[in-house]
A = this chain, B = another copy of it.
Amino acid sequence: MKDSILERVKQLFTDYLKEHGQRRTPERYAILAEIYSLDQHFDVESLFTRMLGLGHNVSRATVYNTLELLLECRLITKHQFGKNLSQYEKSFEYKQHDHLLCEDCERVVEFCDPRIQQIQSMMGDILQFNITHHALTLYGRCSLLAKGEHCTHYQEKRSLLK
């Protein structure tokens, strides 16, 4: 099933590259495959490191280049969660969704609410804009925590950092 999604995504990427006179290089497909093997958000550096770890001798420049192409054909989406660091996630066959961030452990939870689409189209009408997309992020902390306490994911996070 996973493979089937990967195959379909590769096909879409191929179509896009052909249509836009871009070359189908092994690096680009390797990056696409790696992204679709992940189930979390990622940043450029972690993807780059991961590629090296897998034995692919790609450069950061190629990673950035490929991410740009994947954004253009909507196979990934890009987020800025309030920091100067771009986060990405695969987006094929994923419902449009929004994010809730724990500012303690930086865990990201996804959610969906139809009212956001309503707001989007209503505001488009009122303000005379063709709205193409939106980004809603809720910021908070896991409930039940006293001030100074950390949520259960905090320690995991700490151990991940360096």
By a beta-carbon cutoff of 8 Å, the part of chain A in contact with chain B is 78, 80-86, 100, 102-103, 109, 111, 113, 115-116, 118-120, 122-124, 126-145
CB distance from A144 to the nearest CB of B (A): 7
Instruction: Decide if B123 touches A142 in the complex (CB within 8 Å).
Output: no
Which residues in B have their C-beta under 8 angstroms from that of A80?
80-84
Q: A115-B119, A119-B115 are in contact. Are A109 and B127 (CB under 8 A)?
A: yes
CB distance from A38 to the nearest CB of B (A): 21
Instruction: Decide if B128 touches A144 in the complex (CB within 8 Å).
Output: yes
Which residues in B have their C-beta under 8 angstroms from that of A119?
113, 115-116, 136
The 3 closest A-B pairs by CB, nearest first: A131-B140, A80-B80, A129-B140
Which residues in B have their C-beta under 8 angstroms from that of A123?
100, 111, 113, 138
Which residues in B have their C-beta under 8 angstroms from that of A133?
138-139
CB distance from A122 to the nearest CB of B (A): 8
Which residues in B have their C-beta under 8 angstroms from that of A142?
128-130
Give which listed residue, B127, B129, B132, B143, contacts A128 with CB less than 8 A.
B143
Which residues in B have their C-beta under 8 angstroms from that of A139?
131-135
Which residues in B have their C-beta under 8 angstroms from that of A134?
136-139
Instruction: Decide if B127 touches A111 in the complex (CB within 8 Å).
Output: yes
CB distance from A22 to the nearest CB of B (A): 21
Which residues in B have their C-beta under 8 angstroms from that of A138?
120, 123-124, 129, 131, 133-134
Which residues in B have their C-beta under 8 angstroms from that of A127?
100, 109, 111
